[in-house]
Amino acid sequence: MGTVTGQWKQLLLNALESNSHLKHSSFFQLATVGSSGRPSNRTVVFRGFQENSDKIQINTDCRTHKVEELKHCPFAEICWYFTDSWEQFRINGRIDIVDASDPDLKKVQQREISWFASSLKSRLQYLGPSPGLPCLSKEPDQEFLDPSAGPDGAFCLLVLDPDQVDYLNLKIDQRIQFTCQLSENGEKCWNSQRINA
């Protein structure tokens, strides 16, 4: 057991690089807890790490069930499996919801950066009807989006702040658990331990 700075993040960056030729390598599963106490799971897109950190960014529509669930219980886990390198990452932590009403200017800026980093096609989906509700129209409305317009009100940024990472490499039968603790000055300190696969 020893202090590790970003070792799991480097393993993840390596896995992303070695599997980058596979389109699905940027998708992972996000599990939340519903207000009923039951688990809820879906596939989302990795939108990068927040600048100079190990926080994972996910774009979503603030009208989705996952946002409701995260407001009820902010803890979540992602599961990412890389098919070429046979590596799995289970990353546990707390999710911060950054929407249009967030009072933190820095978070609002990050939300805007994430909006403009998305494709126009991706941005267009936030202009449509509320996700998860019955479809009332057979023909989808043709929405127009000004490419220079800032984030739509339905767009929100989810930021997962990891506190535990379970790394499994099936090719070499290796499993490492990374656990985060805060130091006296409030900085993250990661410990790692080899565990049985």
Amino acid 182: pLDDT: 86
Domain that residue 123 falls in: 2-128+153-195
Position 145 pLDDT exceeds 90: no
Establish if 133 belongs to a structural domain: no
User: pLDDT class for 5, splitting at 50, 70, 90?
Assistant: low
- Is residue 30 one of the residues assigned to a domain? yes
User: How far apart are alpha carbons 169 and 62 in whole angstroms?
Assistant: 35
Higher pLDDT, 148 or 87: 87
pLDDT at 184: 87
Model confidence at 35, in pLDDT bands (50, 70, 90)?
Answer: confident
Give residue 175's pLDDT: 97
Q: What CATH number should be reported for the domain holding residue 189? A: 2.30.110.10
Total count of domains within the chain: 1
For residue 134, being part of any structural domain is answered with no
Spatial distance between the Cα atoms of 13 and 123, rounded to a whole number of angstroms: 26
Q: Which two tokens stand for residue 172?
A: 């070499």
Name the pLDDT band for 187 (thresholds 50, 70, 90): confident
**Residue 136 maps to a domain:** no
pLDDT of residue 161 exceeding 50, the answer is yes
pLDDT at position 3 is 45
Confidence of residue 134 (pLDDT cuts 50, 70, 90): confident
Are 12 and 6 spatial neighbours (Cβ–Cβ below 8 Å)? no
